[in-house]
Structure 1
Amino acid sequence: MSTDKSPSSPFCLLFDCDGTLVDSEILLAEVMGALLPEFGLPFSAQQYMDEFRGVRFQTIVQTLENRFQVLEEDTFSQLEAGMRTRMEARMRAELIAISGMPAALEQLSSHPKAVVSNGPERKIRCALESTQLGHHFAGNLFSAYTLNVWKPDPELYLKAAAAMGFAPQRCIVIDDAAVGVEAGLAADMHVIHLNHFPNEESTPEGALGIHHASELPAAISRLSTAAIA
């Protein structure tokens, strides 16, 4: 697919999923806070929110194993399966879109869009179905588990951009987590950091920080105007 997009054409918008499109982070934190101690790995929901938002599940478990104890052989697959089952049930029953995001997506209807997530494709689809946001993305879903590369590696966003037919410089990453912002910047893309915790987190240099999804259309318009100028 050609990546020869003119400066006046719409940017391609690459959205993270958890914490950016859907308010799933606290659900995941609670699931992990309940499940991991059952397997002998001390963990709390607050610890996920403070230290591990957006991080690959396997990386979280490996970090905890290094701190506490190594799981018995073949235990990880059982642990992950339990986490996925509990999480999907919580999402289908409780998940909502990030405040202001449905309206923002409607305002951005002229832009091609994709979801680029560290989560499995089944989880992405569950999130979009549960919040009725799927129609905005026309099936353009890119999972780290499918592409076998995880943020903060920029290759996940680069592969998504190539599949969408856009050069990195014509893409805008929208991500709430540090690993995603880092990946977008390393991919040489424009990055909007949806910073839910401005009193605790700072937006890295090179990214544009916003605090609410309602600010997203104006932020994208600002980047578009700057690119044309």
Structure 2
Amino acid sequence: MSSSHSIPSHFCLLFDCDGTLVDSEILLADVMGEIFPELGLPFSAQQYMEEFRGVRFHTIVHTLEHRFHKLTEEALTQLESGMRTRMEARMRAELVAIPGIPDALAQLKSYPKAVVSNGPERKIRCALESTQLEGHFQGQLFSAYTLNVWKPDPELYRKAAAAMGFAPQHCIVIDDAAVGVEAGLAAGMQVIHLNHFPNEESTPEGAVGIHHANELPVVIAGLMESSR
């Protein structure tokens, strides 16, 4: 590995999962576009991508209930169980890594790193196993469902950093969704925004925008250089 891509041991990389490491967003959008209408809540895959990308599942449900009608407890249980089951099946059959991520992680192998996601731990593990990325993280997975705090709350990233043994200012967040970028910035961390939709989304002030994962090693090296 090139020395220009090495990192001081006192820095840690915190990766989002869906849309950052794995190309799961369109699968999730399709599944939600199928299952919400089955229970009388109008919804489409395009709506997920435009309005709810990266947002907590329960927040999406509550928003739709407010717009249309409230679900019974039985229907809510059926909705979440059905969504999780269908999504896992789609992931195991179809999920791939975000282009450039496997090579970028290989170049960044000496960096301490973790996955920090709004999704359940089972979903995170399924995503990493399905794309053969789990070895890069050595079991360092932090789920909002386990820690009971969801992005854009910065506490999710702060708790992950503390568990990894790093101060916020010694962490770099890599996230594709607005809620994750907002959380990382509010946590006092350096943030790289993997912007898949540059014509539709802008990178918030304070974050570094990139358009392809293959840019990560060079951008991270530049952040490290500027922090010295």
Quickly name the TM-score band, shorter chain normalised.
over 0.9
1:88-114 deviation line (CA, Å, top 9, x unaligned): 000000000000000000000110000
Structure 2: distance between partners of 1:113 and 1:201:
27
**Secondary structure of 1:172's aligned partner:** strand
Structure 1 residue 191: Cα displacement: 0.2
1:45-69 deviation line (CA, Å, top 9, x unaligned): 0000000000000000100011111
Aligned to 1:62: 62
**Secondary structure of 1:14's aligned partner:** strand
Tell which deviates more after alignment, 9-18 or 198-207.
9-18
Structure 2: distance between partners of 1:66 and 1:176:
27
Structure 1 residue 10: Cα displacement: 4.9
Aligned to 1:4: none
Stretches of structure 2 that go unaligned for 5 or more consecutive residues are 1-6
Structure 2: distance between partners of 1:182 and 1:77:
30
**Structure 2 counterpart of 1:220, which letter?**
I
**Structure 2 counterpart of 1:94, which letter?**
E
Aligned to 1:122: 122
Aligned to 1:143: 143
Structure 1 residue 12: Cα displacement: 0.2
1:143-178 deviation line (CA, Å, top 9, x unaligned): 000000000000000000000000000000000000
Structure 1 residue 221: Cα displacement: 0.5
Q: Is the 8 A contact 1:10 1:110 kept in 2?
A: no
Q: Does 1:38 align with 2:41?
A: no
**Secondary structure of 1:145's aligned partner:** helix
Aligned-residue identity in percent: 79
**Secondary structure of 1:223's aligned partner:** helix
Structure 1 residue 78: Cα displacement: 1.2
Aligned to 2:134: 134
Q: What is the root-mean-square deviation in Å for CA atoms of aligned residues?
A: 0.9
Aligned to 2:189: 189
Q: Is the 8 A contact 2:10 2:166 kept in 1?
A: no
**Structure 2 counterpart of 1:57, which letter?**
F
Stretches of structure 1 that go unaligned for 5 or more consecutive residues are 1-6
| Aligned ranges 1:1-229 → 2 under 5 Å | 8-228=8-228
TM-score normalized by the length of structure 2: 0.96
Q: Is the 8 A contact 2:100 2:212 kept in 1?
A: yes
Structure 2: distance between partners of 1:38 and 1:9:
50
Structure 1 73/8 Cα, relative in aligned 2: closer, same or farther at 3 Å? closer
Q: Is the 8 A contact 1:13 1:172 kept in 2?
A: yes
**Secondary structure of 1:74's aligned partner:** helix
Q: Is the 8 A contact 1:10 1:111 kept in 2?
A: no
Q: Is the 8 A contact 2:9 2:112 kept in 1?
A: no
Matched pairs, number:
222
Structure 2: distance between partners of 1:209 and 1:186:
17
1:190-219 deviation line (CA, Å, top 9, x unaligned): 000000000000000000000000001111
Q: Is the 8 A contact 1:52 1:60 kept in 2?
A: yes
Structure 1 residue 8: Cα displacement: 4.1
TM-score normalized by the length of structure 1: 0.96
Structure 1 residue 73: Cα displacement: 2.9
